[in-house]
Amino acid sequence: MAQTITEKIFSQHASRDVYALEIVQIPIDMVIGNDITTPISIHAFEKSGATKLANPDGFSIVLDHFIPAKDIASANQARISRDFAKKYKLKNFFDEKDMGIEHALLPEKGLVVPGDVIIGADSHTCTHGALGAFSTGMGSTDLAYAMVTGGNWFKVPESIKVVLTGKPQEYVSGKDIILEIIGRIGVDGALYKTLEFTGDTIEHLSMDDRFSMCNMAIEAGAKSGIVAYDKITEQFLSDKPLAREPRILYSDSDANYVQVLHINVAELESVIAYPFLPSNTHTLTEAVNDSIKIDQAFIGSCTNGRLSDLKVAAQILEGKRVHEDVRLIVTPGTQRILREATKLGYIDIIVDAGGVVSNPTCGACLGGYMGILGDNEVAVSTTNRNFVGRMGSRSSKVYLANSAVAAASAIAGVIADPTQS
């Protein structure tokens, strides 16, 4: 019987053929925790009486939300993970010395590979599906169970096939594609399903684009997002010391899908998600016509903090100045991205234009620090959520956009078209 790529990944891990809606217990290749969620997992692990990790090399802790610590509480929270990592001699522990946002850092380190089953106590763990893996967010106690047993229980998700056709226009990116999808199907349109991205557009999308698309699958309610392995994936992985041998799988041509969604990307312009849902999408033309004044532009997060985001921002900002009424904050996804952007001159351009570059952190995205919005302030942001109070005050507003739009808007003082910058 034909299978989707997701069903095949589960079948390999279950050592038998499994299909959508079956409930299975399987081993997990990588468990991911961060400074916010891992202490809860550690408490549950210790309460269970466990004295060792079932798969220590398949467990990563990345301190990325409030590091360097923003206050006493976050410092104490981080200390719990540091002590645990030291006690169990955890190989994959990443603190200030090797900093990065978890969903940018782990692919960079080769710790997540095609064919893996990956879980993390963070909803945007689905990012790693861009590598042809099954990756999903779970609760902290689910992580603890995996820490103790090396596996977990899953209901195999049904799949929605997203067929993307055509070459994207200038300044149209993976962020625009996933916002378009969410706008069409809604924030629960893919509830507990896999969004499988296919079609000839894929060959025109960089890994950064693919990471953005899979990252925001959760914003449509999806359990995971996935893109099958191809030459672009191969090139991305070619210089990395991979933790495991990739298991390269593809959906059968006659696999069963609960829905097939077709999008002509060649006709797509940049998409802006208005407050207060990622599904409240409008075209860039509509946003420009609405003359939306902004107080802050933010470029970063696990969605759009990669080198290509900094590159396009630098291209637009070069020789220009950020509007006098706007704060531009740029957060590279990892230290490696920061170093590479520095070598290429992107950081100098951003700073010369009046932007501020922060350490790699999730802080601004969830209204934690390094970019909190005040009362009634408006931001255009490359992050993944624009709920009420997401980036600060409950009276603030967040408009989601790609990095080119964010950079152009920082210059204009209103949401702007990068082709006109």
Return the ∠ at Cα 64 (arms to 62 and 67), rounded to 5°.
120
Give the number of other CB atoms < 10 A from CB of residue 380.
Answer: 29
pTM: 0.96
Q: What is the pLDDT of residue 237?
A: 98
The candidate with the shortest Cα–Cα distance to 226, out of 249, 253, 254, 204, is 249
**DSSP letter assigned to residue 293:** B
Residues in the chain, total: 421
254 CB-near residues (< 8 Å, 6+ apart):
2
Side-chain half-sphere CA neighbours of 373 within 13 A: 31
- The 10s digit of each residue's pLDDT in 279-334 is 999 999 999 999 999 999 999 999 999 999 999 999 999 999 999 999 999 999 99
Task: Please enumerate in sequence order all residues whose Cβ is within 8 A of that of 327, keeping only pairs 6 or more positions apart, or say none.
Answer: 295, 296, 297, 356, 371
CA distance 158 to 4: 9
Q: Give me the tens of pLDDT residue by residue for the chain, a chain 421 residues long.
A: 999 999 999 999 999 999 999 999 999 999 999 999 999 999 999 999 999 999 999 999 999 999 999 999 999 999 999 999 999 999 999 998 889 999 999 999 999 999 999 999 999 999 999 999 999 999 999 999 999 999 999 999 999 999 999 999 999 999 999 999 999 999 999 999 999 999 999 999 999 999 999 999 999 999 999 999 999 999 999 999 999 999 999 999 999 999 999 999 999 999 999 999 999 999 999 999 999 999 999 999 999 999 999 999 999 999 999 999 999 999 999 999 999 999 999 999 999 999 999 999 999 999 999 999 999 999 999 999 999 999 999 999 999 999 999 999 999 999 999 998 7
Domains of the chain, earliest start first: 5-239+255-263 (3.30.499.10), 272-420 (3.30.499.10)
Q: What backbone torsions phi and psi does residue 183 show, to the nearest 5 degrees?
A: -60, -35
CA distance 397 to 379: 6
Residue 281's pLDDT is 98
| Per-residue pLDDT at 98 | 87
C-alpha to C-alpha distance for 31 and 160, rounded to whole angstroms: 25
Torsion of CA 152, 158, 164, 170, to 10 degrees: -40
